[in-house]
Amino acid sequence: MADSFMGKAATMEIPINSNGETLAEDDSLEQDLQQVMVSGPNLNETSIVSGGYGGPAGGIIPTSSIKDLRMKSRGQGVGLVPSQSAASRIANQNQTDQPFTGSGMHHSNQSMSAEEANRGVAVEKLDSVKKWGINTYKCTKQMFSERFGRGSRTVDLELEAQIDVLRDTKRKYESVLRLTSALTTHFYNMVQTQQALGDTFADLSQKSPELRDEFGYNAETQKLLCRNGEALLGAINFFVSSINTLVNKTMEDTLMTIKLYEAARLEFDAYRADLEELSLGPRDAATMVRIEVSQQQYQVQRDKYERLRSDVTIKLKFLEENKVKVMHKQLLLFHNAISAYFAGNQQQLEQTLRQFNVKLKPPGSDKPSWLEES
């Protein structure tokens, strides 16, 4: 009500006459203003609302209590107590300002050790790449020097001759393997044709009474040839399998060692040429250091070359012994089986298979099962 009267008083126009005197109707307005000033709120008893607009009544703080608190604080020399939110912010600030202790220091030490480990790995990789680049450059330089006849190479005449013989033998054995594989394929097709022909003769002997005996004889002959052909196929497959193992495993393993030996020989000659080139130059302090490092590298490459040359010599010796032993058995098997088959000697063919422990697959083992057909 007081607010409405104050607003009305602030916005109301007061008319005056020509002589500067207020009109008679203003007496009532003056009386209303005096009543407002007398009946209005006491400023000493005004309340402060802590909270938003329209908050609960519990948040009202009388101004008289605030005055008493200020008077007490001035008398005692103590400031106002901060609110709970301000105290928590100060405590958090103090915690953040404290140095790392306990688990914080342990975590920082772990991160520093991890960074040092990663840095060490990076340095090792960089060193390995650097060594690889230097080694590749020297080997490439030595290879081109040998091809253009400007550089010298280490040659073991006896070992080089054995390596050439091995490579030539491998090419010939690969030809034997290819031809016997083709023979196996063609002979398998012939055996399948004989089996189909025997089944057809047997069917015709049942449907042609006047030619029953003739069709029957031919059916039995084709079935016998089919059985002998399957026995011969078992012997040829055993021969092909053994040759394949000899060529693609035993010989290939020896040739891989030979490749390592040839690479070691190239590296050895490259470091040897580098050492010879440094030895012919000036003998100052920096060159002497380089010569010493080159001698150490040369010795390492020489030891590697000697070790691989010994490995190649041993493998060539064992390969030759193994080749003679395997081929003696396989060639004897192949000869006896072929001779017995084309001579029509079924007993000799079966005896040959038993002699060399050749096991035949049961009939129908090559056919897919009913699960695979479905």
pLDDT(364) > 60: no
Residue 272's Cβ-side half-sphere holds a number of Cα atoms within 13 Å equal to 15
Give the pLDDT score at 9. Answer: 43
Angle, alpha carbons 19-25-29 (nearest 5°) = 110
d(CA 196, CA 225): 12
224-278 pLDDT, tens digit each: 899 999 999 999 999 999 999 999 999 999 999 999 999 999 998 888 888 888 8
Q: What is the mean pLDDT of residues 176-188?
A: 95
Alpha helices by DSSP H, listed for 77-156, are: 84-97, 103-147
d(CA 361, CA 231): 9
Residues 6+ apart with CB under 8 A from 278: 287, 290, 291, 294
Give the pLDDT score at 108. Answer: 66
d(CA 76, CA 102): 42
Question: 306 - beta bridge partners?
Answer: none
Q: Which two tokens stand for residue 158?
A: 């006896």
Q: What is the mean pLDDT of residues 70-74?
A: 47
DSSP, collapsed to helix, strand or coil, labels residue 24 as: coil
Q: How far apart are the first and last CA of the chain?
A: 100
Q: Which of 289, 297, 11 is nearest to 131 (CA)?
A: 297
d(CA 202, CA 223): 10
Radius of gyration of the chain (CA): 55
Question: 62 - beta bridge partners?
Answer: 47
Q: Which two tokens stand for residue 93?
A: 């600030």
Residue spans per domain, the chain: 156-180+234-353
pLDDT(181) > 60: yes
φ, ψ dihedrals at 48, nearest 5°? -105, 130
pLDDT(315) > 80: yes
342-361 pLDDT, tens digit each: 988 888 888 988 888 887 76
d(CA 260, CA 310): 12
Q: What is the mean pLDDT of residues 51-75?
A: 45
* pTM, rounded to two decimals: 0.60
Q: Which two tokens stand for residue 92?
A: 């958090």
Hey, which of 61-75, 132-146, 159-173 has the most confident mean pLDDT?
Answer: 159-173
pLDDT(212) > 80: yes
- Judged by average pLDDT, the poorest of 22-31, 134-143, 145-154, 202-211 is 22-31
Q: How confident is residue 147, by pLDDT bands cut at 50, 70 and 90?
A: confident
CATH of 156-180+234-353, one of 1.20.1270.60, 3.20.20.450, 1.10.630.10, 3.30.360.10: 1.20.1270.60
Instruction: Yes or no: say if 174 and 241 are a contact pair by the CB < 8 Å rule.
Output: no
Q: What is the mean pLDDT of residues 213-217?
A: 89
83-104 pLDDT, tens digit each: 444 445 544 555 444 444 455 5
Q: How confident is residue 65, by pLDDT bands cut at 50, 70 and 90?
A: very low
pLDDT(10) > 80: no
Question: 48 - beta bridge partners?
Answer: 61
